[in-house]
Amino acid sequence: MKNQNRAFKVWMSLVASMTLGAVVLMAVDRKTVSDGAFSLAGYVQLSSVEQIVLDSIKAAPGNWNRVQVFFSGTSTSHTDKILQKFTGSDGVQFHFIVCNGIGSDNEGKQIADGQIEYTTQWVQQKPCLGSEDATIRICVVSDGIVTVPTDSQIKRVAMLVRLFNQRLGVPSKNISFPANWQM
């Protein structure tokens, strides 16, 4: 009888300490499960960077020699509006867009924070800005002042840039970020 009583106390102590530990961890964490790409929910929602970049086309190393990251100048990820803003006579002016989780896609579906979308310029392996420049352009949904990039956007851009550096041979010295970019 004493053995059963002791086992019950041990189990109850374990449950209580795990519950208390979970409460403390949730109290110090500012994010909820659905708050971004680096929560459990975010990992389930987002495609891998390699899948987005390499499965969309067959980019050959050496075709690209620069990466330019820039802000969209907008606060929301409404892709149709951003595409309109950055589409000229030569097509879309960027290869990738990294969303901030505020807004929706062309079909009205909510866009996840850190979601990366590629454009037809990337699929067709065409340069942007009407030149023969071999620069990969990444548009980050943010104005850089009031709406700063989220942690998820920063981490996903870092993954993209690292992939371009390692797989496509873009030198680190040829990667440019906005003036107030925080890595």
13 pLDDT exceeds 50? Answer: yes
Lowest-pLDDT range of 11-15, 17-21, 103-107, 175-179:
103-107
146 pLDDT exceeds 70? Answer: yes
The Cα-based distances of 178 to 84, 113, 120, 139 in angstroms read 22, 19, 24, 11
30 pLDDT exceeds 60? Answer: no
pLDDT at position 111:
78
> Is there a single domain that holds both residue 79 and residue 26?
no
For residue 173, how far is the Cα from the chain centroid?
22
Please check whether residue 89 lies inside any domain of the structure: yes
> Is there a single domain that holds both residue 148 and residue 86?
yes
pLDDT at position 158:
92
- pLDDT above 90 as % of the chain: 14
> Is there a single domain that holds both residue 76 and residue 165?
yes
> Is there a single domain that holds both residue 145 and residue 163?
yes
The mean of the pLDDT values for the chain is 77
Sign of CA dihedral 148, 151, 152, 157: positive
Are residues 151 and 38 in contact, defined by beta-carbon separation less than 8 angstroms?
A: yes
> Is there a single domain that holds both residue 140 and residue 167?
yes
Look up the pTM and report it: 0.68
> Is there a single domain that holds both residue 127 and residue 99?
yes
40 pLDDT exceeds 50? Answer: no
Q: Beta strands of the chain (E only): which ranges?
A: 66-71, 87-88, 91-92, 96-100, 113-118, 135-140, 175-176
pLDDT at position 91:
64
Domains contained in the chain, number: 2
Are residues 141 and 181 in contact, defined by beta-carbon separation less than 8 angstroms?
A: no
Are residues 178 and 127 in contact, defined by beta-carbon separation less than 8 angstroms?
A: no
pLDDT in tens, 59-101: 666 788 899 998 888 766 556 566 666 665 556 788 888 988 8
